[in-house]
């Protein structure tokens, strides 16, 4: 299949390598310096776009794909207040939009484990919950989209929680997300339940970018020929 990379940083280069290893053709590598090259492409030139750019660029990038009728797989976080608008546009244009805060298969299994643990912990009022995310110093947004997804999974399943907060001590109704930026850490996410007598902890630790990149390529393969708004739950058939 013919793939366009929107965003050609470190992640874009790993995606390129994995896509090519799976027999795909990269027809364009778009960054800030050659945006016009993408404007000139049409749906007949491209099977799917994989978008890993910057929070300031993601909205317009995805919007352009939807309007062109090109299936788009987006992994950029930090712009989600505008996501519902693009979901509505996708349905209006009968296009295809796939978004995930994290394309790692392991992380998406972790999301489900996190929800299950929250349900089990809900009656146990003696525990205080918090989450921690650690990423490389080049990551622009904080908290990470993955950390927000984890916090939202807790809120949905843990009685009494209705909001998350960033790098602040939490109140009874809040889930604290603590963010750190260190060296070249690909991504670490930890959920802790702490009481006076013990602590329960689950964690996902990425060893590199390859897991994220492979998931994005698999999503691009999966979305071709489909119409609608999708995420990893649909791809992995998680009910």
Residues 84 and 173 in one domain: no
Per-residue pLDDT of the chain (239 residues; tens, 9 = 90+): 999 999 998 899 999 999 999 999 999 999 988 988 988 889 999 999 999 998 889 999 999 999 999 999 999 988 989 999 999 999 999 999 999 988 999 999 999 999 999 999 999 999 999 999 999 988 878 899 889 999 999 999 999 999 999 999 999 999 999 999 998 898 999 999 999 999 999 999 999 888 889 999 999 999 999 999 999 999 998 76
Domain of 143, CATH number, reads: 3.30.360.10
Question: Whole-angstrom Cα distance, residue 70 to residue 49?
Answer: 7
Residue 95 sits in the same domain as residue 150: no
In degrees and rounded to multiples of 5, residue 120 shows phi and psi of -65, -35
Kindly state whether residues 46 and 98 are assigned to the same domain.
yes
Residues 172, 136 share a domain: yes
Q: Which residue has the tokens 């352009």?
A: 64
Domain of residue 79, CATH code: 3.40.50.720
116 shares its domain with 126? yes
Is 135 catalytic? The answer is yes
Structural domain of 171: 105-205
Please say if 189 is a catalytic residue. no
Specify whether 220 is located in the same domain as 197: no
d(CA 165, CA 169): 8
Note whether 168 and 120 are same-domain residues: yes
pTM: 0.78
Catalytic residue among 115, 139, 192, 227: 139
User: Which entry of 68, 135, 161, 204 is annotated as an active-site residue?
Assistant: 135
Q: Are residues 199 and 221 in the same domain?
A: no
| C-alpha pair distances (Å), 128 with each of 143, 174, 201, 208, 239 | 20, 10, 12, 31, 28
**What is the number of domains present in the chain?**
2
Do 18 and 93 reside in the same domain of the chain? yes
Query: Are 122 and 174 in the same domain?
Result: yes
């Amino acid at each position: 299949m013919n793939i366009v990379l929107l965003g050609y940083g470190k992640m874009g280069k790993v995606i390129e390598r994995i896509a090519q290893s799976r027999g795909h053709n990269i027809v364009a590598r778009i960054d800030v310096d050659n945006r016009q090259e993408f404007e000139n492409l049409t749906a007949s030139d491209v099977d799917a776009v994989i978008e890993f750019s910057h929070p300031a660029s993601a909205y317009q990038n995805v919007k352009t794909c939807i309007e062109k009728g090109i299936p788009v797989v987006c992994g950029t976080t930090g712009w989600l207040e505008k996501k519902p608008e693009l979901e509505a546009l996708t349905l209006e244009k009968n296009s295809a939009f796939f978004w995930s805060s994290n394309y790692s298969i392991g992380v998406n299994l972790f999301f489900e484990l996190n929800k299950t643990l929250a349900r089990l912990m809900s009656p146990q009022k003696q525990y205080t919950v918090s989450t921690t995310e650690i990423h490389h110093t080049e990551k622009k947004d904080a908290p990470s989209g993955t950390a927000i997804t984890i916090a939202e999974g807790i809120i949905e399943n843990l009685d009494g929680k209705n909001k998350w907060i960033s790098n602040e001590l939490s109140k009874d109704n809040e889930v604290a997300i603590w963010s750190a930026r260190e060296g070249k850490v690909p991504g670490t996410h930890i959920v802790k339940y702490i009481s006076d007598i013990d602590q329960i902890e689950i964690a996902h630790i990425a060893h590199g970018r390859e897991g994220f990149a492979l998931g994005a390529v698999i999503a691009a393969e999966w979305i071709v020929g489909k119409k609608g708004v999708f995420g990893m739950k649909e791809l992995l058939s998680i009910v």
